[in-house]
Structure 1
């Protein structure tokens, strides 16, 4: 049940996130559906390739495809008065999708008997893979590659599940909420991981 609930939550959240990005980029309705589908199912497809699950397993998720289409259609029909809130809701739905799919991906790898390292990779790819493809198709720098903390939260989820610190359904739901909250805090308060800029170094040397 936990698996199915997280799949539904993640699919809805990322489908909406992809649709919002497509509308921000002024794509037509076909572009909105394509970007939403890619965002919702891209991470799972990449994960399946790397942990040995046939990619064709994706086509067995007919109900999830229907849920994604319904979610995108709903967003497309939102009144124009909500346009100003789309960016904020896009970040929030992306945070929900990241959390739900990171946990779902980690559980998938655990159920297949993979080691903790593979569990972490599955969490990161499932949680952020769809978003990476979405941003690339939209001509944006992927969130996961920015200094702003993003994939780090998926790594935390993968480690906690891989080492069996979190395994009961109630614990998984608490972890889901925790990851969402931390992701929201990270973009609200601009939390960043350490980084070094070669451009800054080059400017200092030129001076």
Structure 2
């Protein structure tokens, strides 16, 4: 049940995120659907390749594809005056997707009895992989590669689940809420990781 709920939350959040960015970049309707789908399922596809799950498993998620398509359609039909608040709500949807998919990826790898390193990688790739592909296709610098704190929260999910600190469904939902809140706080208050600039004379 936890797996399905987190999958649904992450799918809707990232599909909406991808669709809104596509509209910001003035993509046509086909581009909006493609970017929304890629954002929703890109991270899971990359994770599956790296932890040994057949790629064909992605196509067995018929219900989630329908949910993603419905979410994208709703966003596409929204009045423009509601969508202009993207900077506020887009980051929030992105935070929800990061949290839900990072936990989902960590659970997936943990259930396959992978080592802690693989669980952390699965959490990071599932949580941020779709966003990376989305940003690259939209011609933007991926959030996860900037100094802004983003993938750190996915790593935290992987560690807590990998070391069995959090196991029960209630604890997982609390982790989801906590990670979402931390991501919102980190972009609201502009928390950043250390950065080193190279100046070439």
In structure 1, the partner of 2:53 is 53
Unaligned runs of 5+ in 1: none
Q: Does the CA contact (< 8 Å) of 1:20 and 1:87 recur in 2? A: no
Matches for 1:30-109 after TM superposition, within 5 Å: 30-109=30-109
SS, match of residue 85 in structure 2: helix
How far apart, CA to CA, are the structure 1 residues paired with 2:71 and 2:60? 19
Q: Distance in 1 between matches of 2:24 and 2:189?
A: 23
SS in 1 for 2:192: coil
Measured in 2, the distance between the counterparts of 1:180 and 1:142 equals: 19
TM-score if structure 1 supplies the norm length? 0.96
Do the aligned residues in 2 keep the contact of 1:11 with 1:67 (CA within 8 Å)?
yes
Q: Is the aligned partner of 1:164 residue 2:164?
A: yes
How far does residue 115 in structure 1 lie from its aligned partner after superposition?
Answer: 0.7
Scaled by the length of structure 2, the TM-score of the pair is 0.99
Q: Distance in 2 between matches of 1:139 and 1:195?
A: 22
* Contact preservation (8 Å) 1:36, 1:72: yes
What is the alpha-carbon distance in structure 2 between the residues aligned to residue 72 and residue 87 of structure 1?
18
Corresponding residue for residue 192 of structure 1: 192
In structure 2, the gaps of 5 or more residues are none
CA deviations on 1:4-56 (whole Å, 9 max, x unpaired) are 00000000000000001101101111000000000000000000000000011
Q: Distance in 1 between matches of 2:195 and 2:86?
A: 29
Partner of residue 145, structure 2: 145
Are 1:13 and 1:97, in contact at CA under 8 Å, matched by a contact in 2? Answer: yes
State the number of aligned residues: 201
